[in-house]
Structure 1
Amino acid sequence: MTTACRHGNYLVEDVSFESSRLRLAGLLHVPEHTSAPLPAVVILGPFASVKEHSPAQYATRLSDEGYVALAFDAAYCGESAGEPRGLNEPLRRAADVRAAIDWILARPEVDPTRLAVIGLGDGASEVIAVACEDDRVRALATVSGVYRDPASDRQLVGDCPETAPSGSGHSAEHRLEARATRARLASARYDELGEVDYLPIVDPVRTDVALPGVEPWRWYMSQSGRGLWENRYAVMGDLAYLEFESLSAARALRVPLAMLHGGRTPDGNSARRHFDAVTGTHKELFFEPNASRYQYYDDPSTIDRAVRNLASWFGAHLA
């Protein structure tokens, strides 16, 4: 027998906190009619998204389940501070998660011994990097993750001809290097002139954008009215993005892991590689063969099922 998630039994507070001298904006969801101290969860969203996108879907539902839930804008994005705007660097986003942990554990409603972290999309690989080094994290969940290793980069980035025309015969490795070269040139331009090179995050036709293809374009544009979001990103951020990998962090992970993944995602092999790499802790894979990446971001039924699994998992591992 399944039970439906309850909705609306929480209060939302606009909050802010500092991360490396930058002010970050967040939405704190606090359960009503419950007694403190409560378990807490920090949620990091997908690449170049904002807190009002998929993080809010999970924060509201988990707050209904009794968790103090924080969704926030990473530095340089949304309502958070930082220049240049639209800079997306994995290690910087990981540092923002650590700052969010610092802040939420100081809240009077929160039990500091019961903290979970969730990463969605690219946030999944970044929170693995956090959890393998931060023993304040007692449980970890990755949802529809973009997991970073050379093979997944070749599939997700190199196989999309961002900088090489279709049919050019350029290999995935050449396309990855072309994207890195583009980022190096953009970084040099910023250092020399203070000018930022921007490209769209998504576009249904263009292949030089951050996330080529119709499916990402449909989802991001469907969210464009939620929060302070722009369809552009700082190209120089690709340099740090392409240098990041999460497989070594998965091997070092000692925090209980719940991985939620769908069968209709383009990088299922990378998810499996990361799941198999985790050998030092309890882990569980919640697999939906017919779910796509973006169903975990905005489909109510898929998210409700995901939150039921998360609430059960966290309940067992944050006791």
Structure 2
Amino acid sequence: MIVIKKKVKFRAHGLHVAAILNIPKYAEEKKQNPAIVCVHPGSSCKEQTAGIYAEKLAERGYVTIVFDASYQGESEGEPHYAEYPAARVEDIRCAVDYLTTLEYVDENRIGVLGVCAGGGYAVNAAMTERRIKAVGTVVGINIGRGYRGEGDPIKMLEAVAQQRTAEARGAEPMVTQWIPNSHAEREESGMTDIDLVGAVDYYRTPRGQNPNSPNKLKFTSVDSVIGFDAFHLAESLLTQPLQIIVGGVQGAYGSYKDSHELYNRAASDKKDLLIIEGASHYDLYDRPEPVSKAVEKLGAFYQENL
């Protein structure tokens, strides 16, 4: 199906959020079209993996919207490069707001799909955003768990506290990076885990590199990430139909573990966990065969539940 792509903006907590709206041909002439909000990973942008899924789902007849998180990419927000979980979740709510203003979208047939950390944010938003009727995750992770499991989180929080004080007194904002900037830098740091290799290969090479994803992270926003639990209250509030997709190859990011945890904790009585054997975390970002399998499963899931 032919897809019409439109650059749009919507408002979220006082900011303009930059988005791409994918509209199946003839959708604007019809009523009652289902729609899906697609949420990108931490450090990512709308043109990368979430945008791939958004376009492929639009080819299956869904109106989709994918956006740069506020404070990131082409969206507004200062300090830029900040990762604020509360803002990320509110971005999703506001994307739903925007979809409800489109006359060709059925407000009762809106779903969400998140990739990697975007999966955790999508889950968290859906728990209290009842306009979201179906929830999908691809290699979803609970980003706060990841940060709490890396090194000494208390030591990192102490460093954030010191940096906040320095910046309050006029120091330059500290901007660090999410991952090594090259394979050479990664190898020098002794990082050999398949997910870390995949991260550098996807984000820092022509495979997936994009100027709206510059590998920059406002250091003082890490405190809010460490304190965030994307799955908090899933046992009681996550009641929508849930489709979880993860690769069978396990790595440091823990999407395999987190996907199983989410499946076990979710209150939904209609949930499914698909493991794509032989696929790693980053294979499900853009590799044709794993992505095709994921999209096929997601298409059937949303068709049944939206």
Same-fold call, TM cutoff 0.5: yes
**3-state SS, counterpart of residue 124 of structure 2:** helix
Following TM superposition, by how much is the alpha carbon of 1:190 offset from its aligned partner in structure 2, in angstroms?
Answer: 2.8
Q: Determine if contact 1:198/1:232 at 8 Å carries over to the other structure.
A: yes
> Among 297, 303, 306, which residue is 1:309 paired with?
297
Following TM superposition, by how much is the alpha carbon of 1:125 offset from its aligned partner in structure 2, in angstroms?
Answer: 1.0
Following TM superposition, by how much is the alpha carbon of 1:139 offset from its aligned partner in structure 2, in angstroms?
Answer: 0.2
> Among 213, 216, 220, which residue is 1:232 paired with?
216
Match of 2:202 in 1: 219
Following TM superposition, by how much is the alpha carbon of 1:194 offset from its aligned partner in structure 2, in angstroms?
Answer: 6.0
> Among 62, 67, 73, which residue is 1:72 paired with?
67
Answer yes or no: is 1:248 the counterpart of 2:225: no
Match of 1:24 in 2: 17
Match of 2:261 in 1: 273
Q: Determine if contact 2:110/2:133 at 8 Å carries over to the other structure.
A: yes
Q: Determine if contact 2:243/2:301 at 8 Å carries over to the other structure.
A: yes
Following TM superposition, by how much is the alpha carbon of 1:304 offset from its aligned partner in structure 2, in angstroms?
Answer: 1.4
Following TM superposition, by how much is the alpha carbon of 1:186 offset from its aligned partner in structure 2, in angstroms?
Answer: 2.5
**Within-5 A mapping of 1:140-219:** 140-148=135-143, 150=145, 152-155=146-149, 157-158=150-151, 175-193=152-170, 195-203=172-180, 204-205=186-187, 213-219=196-202
| Unaligned ranges ≥5, structure 2 | 181-185
When residues 194 and 114 of structure 1 are mapped into structure 2, their CA distance, relative to the original with a 3 A threshold, is farther
**3-state SS, counterpart of residue 188 of structure 1:** helix
**Within-5 A mapping of 1:75-86:** 75-86=70-81
Q: Determine if contact 2:203/2:210 at 8 Å carries over to the other structure.
A: no
Report the Cα distance in structure 1 between the residues aligned to 2:126 and 2:189, rounded to whole angstroms: 34
When residues 195 and 65 of structure 1 are mapped into structure 2, their CA distance, relative to the original with a 3 A threshold, is same
Q: Determine if contact 1:253/1:281 at 8 Å carries over to the other structure.
A: no
User: Could you list the per-position Cα deviations for residues 8-64 of structure 1 after superposition, in whole angstroms to 9, with x for gaps in the alignment?
Assistant: x11000000111111100000000134333100001110011100101101110100
Identity %: 25
> Among 34, 45, 59, which residue is 2:54 paired with?
59
| Unaligned ranges ≥5, structure 1 | 1-5, 159-174
Match of 2:91 in 1: 96
Q: Compute the RMSD of aligned alpha carbons.
A: 2.2
Match of 1:38 in 2: 33
**3-state SS, counterpart of residue 111 of structure 1:** strand
Equivalent position amino acid for 1:253 in 2: L
What is the TM-score normalised by the length of structure 2? 0.89
Report the Cα distance in structure 1 between the residues aligned to 2:204 and 2:273, rounded to whole angstroms: 30
Following TM superposition, by how much is the alpha carbon of 1:191 offset from its aligned partner in structure 2, in angstroms?
Answer: 2.8
**3-state SS, counterpart of residue 161 of structure 2:** helix
The number of equivalent residue pairs is 292
Q: Determine if contact 1:128/1:249 at 8 Å carries over to the other structure.
A: no
Q: Determine if contact 1:28/1:68 at 8 Å carries over to the other structure.
A: yes
> Among 282, 285, 291, which residue is 2:279 paired with?
291
The runs of at least 4 consecutive aligned structure 1 residues that moved more than 6 Å come to none
Report the Cα distance in structure 2 between the residues aligned to 1:314 and 1:224, rounded to whole angstroms: 27
